[in-house]
């Protein structure tokens, strides 16, 4: 029998996931959006072992942000219905996945990306519609003609997608719901022009206020982060960076996790009950001080770019490490 | 003969380094701080191939921030004189390197870290002194007694180090020099109490205004970033993230590199001649718009956490890729 590994024995910094919180989050979302109502976005965790848990909960379609995420999901046997919710100019690697028996639906928003899909051997596309976030997506009133073009190129059009990303970060729930409705009115109108069976949209911030989408592309709900934690959703913080206090002064302490352990675009990680001052490459300074050798669980500000920094995560239950999962969908 | 690979054929996003700019930077620093006057910090690039270029320029001592950086440098044959400029609570992996013939000097700033060094089999330490940045380092007036304790534990004390990190980000050169002097007065006084041959300090921001240190721990100078680029140093921007325009609207374009390609703690990457609006996981939105399929070279805001996101860098000269270097010092 392999001796149980203890969280207390992990070298730091270490990316750790609370198994009970993860189970709670997956079950809570499954109850709200069962089966095909949810197309979990793997960019939020980049981990096929975690995606397998989501598949076991009944969600067999997945959303990806990169070609490599698609390749990794197929390699893990999770390629029944992948959507690359992003534009690409060279779809040949996706075409190879399709030729191998995987189902990959590619987002397109321009003549160029429709051509790339057809040239690369992808057979199914979804029309990406701009619903207010200044990013990808064609204007809503252009969606129909783009679908016609795709069909002319021999592609099957599965419907429309539109990411209301500008709405996700609205902290007030009622305001978030109102803005989501505005975005989805644009998407539903485009869907009428495009046809197809899918209206794919949404995320963790709008999973409970977007009845217009036929499927929600939420990803962060499984692990959560400090920003989504402020929105009042029923999901628990599941991912942390475990760090050791390596230095203490009368007014502060320094933990051994920093800029290379945390996505920083949403600000510093949080340490409940403490005040985080700043991060350096391998340090987080915080107060009040603790003893050298103490261990702390830091909450990432933004889960997606945090995951992309780490080789693996340690799944823990209480004091025990119960599994180790590679973060195997990183890079491009 | 292997056909030359073109930059234009690289899949994006790709971390690319201008070979001429890198050579210029290494030569410029070598001229200013030859040989042992510079102890290049590998945390800024995490790449042993690049460290080898620095060694070829005459710098044979290196600074590291993590145990894994030390291990990787030893594995690459660059372990003649490594300094881990950071505190650790378990030095056993460093002790194994020393037992194998590498020279590793470990920073200590407390009784606990002195004990960890002795217990782990490290034989040489440097007293880390706080010179104004609220991070690691003992109070200057405690350095002497910590050195005595280290010697009692059988450790050789090589001197003092103190990182004036709070000074690096001061954009005005004269103010930066004045604040550097204040920090170094503290360090020089501690050095008198400690003894030993090293006064190790500094970085790219103060390499030209810190005559008190016997060696400068600069790292960013080799590749540079947007923040250091504003300080007027004679180093050129050498590292970029090559990205493709995958979507364009009348008012903006979207390139396929985002939060998982850039350290974001110093803000958005820059695109000379353009206005960067924001980054998402795999996108950077900017204006004015360009054509779908155009390629852009984005300048990272902060080089160190940018490097930690990438598997490899492509060294380029003009339109040709001339080498591929793994970023092999990542993780812990």
> Residues near B10 by Cβ (< 8 Å), separated by ≥ 6?
B16, B242, B314, B321
Mean pLDDT of chain B: 97
Question: Of A249, A250, A275, A284, which to mutate for an interface test with B (greatest number of B Cβ within 10 Å)?
Answer: A249
Which residues, including other chains, have CB under 8 Å from residue A227's CB and lie 6 or more apart?
Answer: A169, A266, A301, A302
d(CA B295, CA A25): 40
Please return the burial class of A103, using the count of CB atoms within 10 Å of its CB with bins 0-12, 13-18 and 19+: middle
**Mean per-residue pLDDT for A254-266?**
98
Q: For residue A305, give the nearest of B264, B94, B163 by alpha carbon.
A: B264
Let me know: does B212 contact B37? Beta carbons within 8 Å. Answer: no
Cβ contacts of B306 within 8 Å, gap of 6 or more: B15, B225, B239, B241, B261, B262, B263, B300
* Statement: residue B273 has pLDDT above 70: yes
Q: Is the pLDDT confidence value at A1 over 60? A: no
User: Among the listed ranges A58-62, A144-148, A173-177, which one has the minimum average pLDDT value?
Assistant: A173-177
Closest CA to A98 of A37, A163, A35, A156: A156
Separation of alpha carbons A71 and B202, rounded Å: 44
Contact A110, A147 (CB under 8 A): no
> Do A50 and A325 form a contact (C-beta atoms < 8 A)?
yes
Cβ neighbours around A293 below 10 Å, total: 14
What percent of chain A clears pLDDT 70, i.e. is strictly above it? Answer: 99
Contact B86/A256, CB-based, under 8 Å?
A: yes
pLDDT of residue A3: 65
Helices (H) and strands (E) in chain B, counts: 10, 16
Six token digits for residue B87: 């505190």
Beta bridge partners of B153: none
B136 with A251: Cβ contact below 8 A: no
* Nearest Cβ partner for A247 among B87, B247, B264: B87
Cα dist. B133→A45, A151, A168, A285, B109 in Å?
A: 34, 61, 36, 10, 14
CATH code reported for the domain at B20-223:
3.20.20.10
The whole-angstrom separation of Cα B49 and Cα B315 is 11
A12-23 pLDDT, tens digit each: 999 999 999 999
Give chain B positions within 8 Å (CB) of A256: 86-88
Computed over every residue of chain A, the mean pLDDT equals: 97
pLDDT at B245 over 60: yes
**Closest by Cβ to A246, choosing from B87, B259, B302:** B87
> Treating both helix axes as pointing N-terminal to C-terminal, what angle do A173-194 and A143-152 enclose, rounded to 10 degrees?
40
Rounded to the nearest angstrom, the minimum Cα separation between B126 and chain A is 15
The tokens 């534990």 sit on which residue? Answer: B153
Considering only CB atoms, which chain B residues are within 8 Å of A139? 249
Q: Percentage of chain A with pLDDT > 90? A: 97
B186-189 contacts: CB < 8 A, separation 24 or more? Answer: B186/B129, B186/B131, B186/B132, B186/B140, B186/B162, B187/B129, B187/B131, B187/B140, B187/B160, B187/B161, B187/B162, B187/B212, B187/B213, B188/B212, B189/B140
Whether the pLDDT of residue A168 is over 90: the answer is no
Residue A207: per-residue pLDDT:
96
Q: What residues of B are in contact with residue A292 (Cβ under 8 Å)?
A: 89, 110, 112-113
CA distance A75 to chain B (A): 20
Backbone φ and ψ for B255, nearest 5 degrees, come out as -100, 155
Q: Is the ipTM of this complex over 0.90?
A: yes
CATH no. for A5-14+235-326: 2.40.37.20
Among B135, B251, B310, select the one facing A283 at the smallest CB separation: B135
Cα–Cα distance, B187 to A104 (Å, whole number):
60
On the question of pLDDT at A143 being above 80, the answer is yes
Annotate A215-224 with b (16+ C-beta within 10 A) or e (fewer). Answer: bbbbbbbbbb
pLDDT value at A284 more than 80: yes
Model confidence band, residue A2 (pLDDT cutoffs 50, 70, 90)? low
pLDDT of residue B171: 85
Q: B111-163, pLDDT tens digit by residue? A: 999 999 999 999 999 999 999 999 999 999 999 999 999 999 999 999 999 99
Confidence category of residue B102, pLDDT binned at 50, 70, 90: very high
Section A257-283 average pLDDT = 98
For residue B317, the model assigns a pLDDT of: 98
- When CB atoms are compared, the residue of B134, B246, B260 closest to A285 is B134
Preferred mutation among A264, A313, A329 to probe B, highest tally of B CBs within 10 A: A264
HSE-CB of B124 using CA atoms within 13 angstroms: 18
At B227, list the tokens.
Answer: 């923040």
* Contact across the interface for A247 and B65, Cβ inside 8 Å: no
SS3 content of chain B, % helix, strand, coil (to 5): 35, 25, 40
Q: Which residues contact B315 (CB under 8 A, 6 or more apart)?
A: B16, B17, B19, B22, B321, B322, B323, B324, B325
Give mean pLDDT, residues A171-200.
Answer: 96
Q: Which CATH architecture has domain A22-223?
A: Alpha-Beta Barrel (3.20)
Q: Chain A partners of B65 at a C-beta cutoff of 8 Å? A: 281-282
Q: Determine the distance in angstroms separating the CA of A305 from the nearest CA of chain B, rounded to an integer.
A: 5
Per-residue tokens: A260: 């290379």
Whether B94 shows a pLDDT value over 60: the answer reads: yes
**Residue A255 and residue A281 in contact, taking contact as beta carbons nearer than 8 Å:** no
CB contact under 8 A, A130 and B249: yes
8 Å CB contact of B260 and A305 = yes
Instruction: List the one residue out of A197, A202, A243, A196 whose CA is nearest residue A220.
Output: A202
Spatial distance between the Cα atoms of B134 and A285, rounded to a whole number of angstroms: 7
Contact A244 B281 (CB under 8 A): no
Minimum distance, in Å, between the CA of residue B25 and any CA atom of chain A: 22
CA angle B178, B180, B184 (to 5 degrees): 120
pLDDT at B2: 62
Neighbouring residues of A26: CB distance < 8 A, sequence distance ≥ 6: A53, A54, A57, A222
pLDDT of B238 over the 70 cut: yes
The token pair at B233 is 């140093």
Nearest to A36 by CA among A62, A3, A69: A62
CATH number of B6-14+235-326: 2.40.37.20
Count of residues for chain A? Answer: 332
Contact yes or no for A327/A307 (Cβ under 8 A): yes
Digit-coded pLDDT (tens) for B44-93: 999 999 999 999 999 999 999 999 999 999 999 999 999 999 999 999 99
Domain ranges of chain B: 6-14+235-326, 20-223
**Which of chain A's residues have a Cβ under 8 Å away from the Cβ of B305?**
259-260, 264, 281
Best to test chain A binding among B277, B280, B296 (most A CBs inside 10 Å): B280
Q: What's the pLDDT tens digit per position in B282-298?
A: 999 999 999 999 999 99
For the ranges B14-18, B35-39, B166-170, B256-260, which has the lowest average pLDDT?
Answer: B166-170
Could you give the CA distance from residue B143 to residue B159 in angstroms, rounded to a whole number? 10
CB contact under 8 A, A112 and B13: no
């Amino acid at each position: 029998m392999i001796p149980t590994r203890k969280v207390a024995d992990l070298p730091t910094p270490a990316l750790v996931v609370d198994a009970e919180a993860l189970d709670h989050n997956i079950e809570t979302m499954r109850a709200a959006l069962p089966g095909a109502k949810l197309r979990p976005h793997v960019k939020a965790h980049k981990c096929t072992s975690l995606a397998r848990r989501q598949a076991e909960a009944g969600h067999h379609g997945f959303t990806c942000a990169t070609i490599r995420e698609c390749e990794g999901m197929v390699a893990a046997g999770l390629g029944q219905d992948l959507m690359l919710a992003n534009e690409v100019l060279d779809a040949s690697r996706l075409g190879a996945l399709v030729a191998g028996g995987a189902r990959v639906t590619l987002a397109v928003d321009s003549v160029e990306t429709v051509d790339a899909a057809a040239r690369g051997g992808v057979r199914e596309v979804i029309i990406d519609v701009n619903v207010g976030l200044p990013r990808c997506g064609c204007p809503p009133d252009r969606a129909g003609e783009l679908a016609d073009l795709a069909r002319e190129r021999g592609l099957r059009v599965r419907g429309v997608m539109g990411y209301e990303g500008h709405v996700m970060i609205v902290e007030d729930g009622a305001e978030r719901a109102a803005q989501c409705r505005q975005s989805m009115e644009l998407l539903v109108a485009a869907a009428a022009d495009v046809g197809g069976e899918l209206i794919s949209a949404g995320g963790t911030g709008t999973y409970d206020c977007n009845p217009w989408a036929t499927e929600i592309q939420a990803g962060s709900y499984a692990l959560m982060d400090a920003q989504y934690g402020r929105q009042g959703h029923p999901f628990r913080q599941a991912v942390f960076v475990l760090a050791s206090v390596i230095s203490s002064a009368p007014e502060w302490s320094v933990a051994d996790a920093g800029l290379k352990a945390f996505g920083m675009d949403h600000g510093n990680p949080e340490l409940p009950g403490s005040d985080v001052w700043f991060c350096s490459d391998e340090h987080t300074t915080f107060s009040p001080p603790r003893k050298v050798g103490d261990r702390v669980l830091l909450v990432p500000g933004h889960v997606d770019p945090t995951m992309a920094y780490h080789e693996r995560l340690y799944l823990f239950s209480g004091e025990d490490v119960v599994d180790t999962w590679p973060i195997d969908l990183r890079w491009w």
